[in-house]
Structure 1
Amino acid sequence: MTAPDDRPVGTGPADPARTRLDDLPIRDDLRGMRPYGAPQLDVAVRLNTNENSYPVPGPVVEAIGKALAAELRDLNRYPDRDAVALRADLAGYLGHGLTGEQVWAANGSNEIQQQLLQAFGGPGRVALGFTPAYSMHPLLALGTGTAWQPARRGADFGLTVDDAVTQVREHRPDVVFLCSPNNPTGTALDPEVVAAVLDVAGGMVVVDEAYAEFARPGTVSALAVLPGHPRLVVTRTMSKAFGFAGGRLGYLAADPAVVAAVQLVRLPYHLSALTQAAARAALAHRDALLGTVAAIKVQRDRIVTTLRDRGLRVADSDANFVLFEVGGDQSVAWRALLERGVLVRDVGLAGWLRVTAGTPAETDAFLAAMEEIR
């Protein structure tokens, strides 16, 4: 977000006597910026942040509650700073022969990626990503003093081996971000792209797989490429498929040396005992939580098919959202949908909007609203 924000620090109406952000000795490269975040509006249908629309099942709520209660008496003590038990559970979930020493966890995959940039980026170093992609990556680069180099995708939002290799060779970044499935387009990467970038990149290659559980059959995870590639990192989250967005748990899989590197920059006791306990309870009930994935994929494919049948351009999606062209000013279409009680995401891509695949009723409401605004 780079639009200027003239509001005073704090809430409420402007007060000339109050200190403004620009009155403080803030870093020059942060001046004029606004915090990252999507609108949080009280509307009937919220489909703008790729949350899982299904609430946590009752038995899982009970299990998490018991796990949290067991930690309360010892909250006077610091948590396990290395989250050893949780990392072992995450490795077991991922499979691929991974062990706990190859996994690291933090408060969301954003914190994981921030730690990676703290360890492998920083002043004098460059991170590269293929846009349009996840808009937090350049902001994480900014926050860690890492120069950001945007690279391009094709007109269809795809990324070919030749295009990826050419741009990595040209810019020689220290960190490369690849998103599969990509946000906001939903497109998954050909595994040959990952392999080719690994071959030519001199630094770290981070594959953001936040939406991996929603991929269509046959989609290959970069986890399969990890053996023998110590500069490859795969990041995941429990926010989406697990419906654990409020729990804030992200993680990575990589060579143990990468885990050792991020431990150099992580804050002490960064992952609370309550977060660790809740995440472990959720992982123990993964079948119940992941049971909504198939239903969400049905709604995603329904959105793709219906919008295409209506003559709109729609990007292929392996995620829990759909990017679609509105045929004009996307901000006007966004407002028209909001007036009909449907909140989607304007990702700043001219002529396109992104909608999360939710429940059947939410899809009904979105498709009905889209029919009305055409």
Structure 2
Amino acid sequence: MARMELKDVVKRYGMVEVLRDINLDIADGEFIVLVGPSGCGKSTLLRMIAGLEPITEGDFMIDGARMNDVRPRDRDIAMVFQSYALYPHMDVARNMGFSMEIRRDPVDEKKRRVTQAAATLGLTALMDRLPKALSGGQRQRVAMGRAIIRDPRAFLFDEPLSNLDAALRVEMRLEIARLHQRLGATMIYVTHDQVEALTLADRIVVLNGGDIQQVGSPLDLYERPANKFVAQFIGSPTMNVVPVTGGVEGVTLANGQWLALSMRENTPFATELGIRPEHLDVVDPAPHVLTATADVVEHLGSDTNIYVNVDKVGPMMVRKHGNIPIAAGDTLGLRVDTDHVHLFSEGGMALPTPVGRAA
């Protein structure tokens, strides 16, 4: 197992700075998920931890020892890539044990570890198959097994499920969660998938433009985002954000609708209001609620997603549990749950959470 520290880490390619001032402590046995848009630096950060990319400035430590100049093979870290990278001419057993084979480890020890990893990942019946005879999920399990038998101090995953279809993604996501529970190993996982991040992580690290925007538990980031970027990036479907005019006791939407809020003392005036789709209630049209027209309605069985245009405010999205009898073109009222609103300053920073009260 491994405790990791990143101290003031910077990464540059020539004059281009792709990561700056990265400071992060990762506890022994913790599952950390790195998320962010394409190009934010999450895979580069993972590769620096693995030793595949040099660190321009700062220090990377494992259990207190500086790793900057330590070769990848000597860091005792296993990496699972997006591509399976299996040897096509080797069967499952040999693919999994090949690293031990080239190190000339004892045959009995290699067999024991391969057998144990295969049992853990449900591959026992597939040991004689070549990769071409495996499904995508089975190939990914072989790649994971190859990492497991090394018994490393930490596991790194670089978008390992992005090549799988939806059903296999769910299956493999559960497999990775079970694997972490069984091994208790330190794991760092890169993904752009919201569900993977929210369901797998002990803590999520949100990156954007080379900077860490926020670090916290999935629930912390969902309920208490540090800024508008995190608020809209974490959660699916994304948070609705609309312009408002802030006041001492609430905010006014662009259509003149007033939302009374118990503002905390000395809170700056808000310029935008965020509300998650599940915190908008569908009601009959009335003067004291928002008037909206349904644009697109998605009936998902368990939920109904309603994309609406709010008069003089703009597009918003509503999610309701169950099958709601609404069709495109219907006029409906929306009531904002003021206990769950988020307010943002002109620069996009989150303001202290107000205590909602009836409008």
Q: Normalization by structure 2: what TM-score?
A: 0.28
Larger radius of gyration: 2
Relative contact order (alpha carbons < 8 A, sep ≥ 6): 1 or 2 greater?
1
Query: Normalized per residue, which structure has more helix?
Result: 1
Query: Normalized per residue, which structure has more strand?
Result: 2
Q: Normalization by structure 1: what TM-score?
A: 0.27
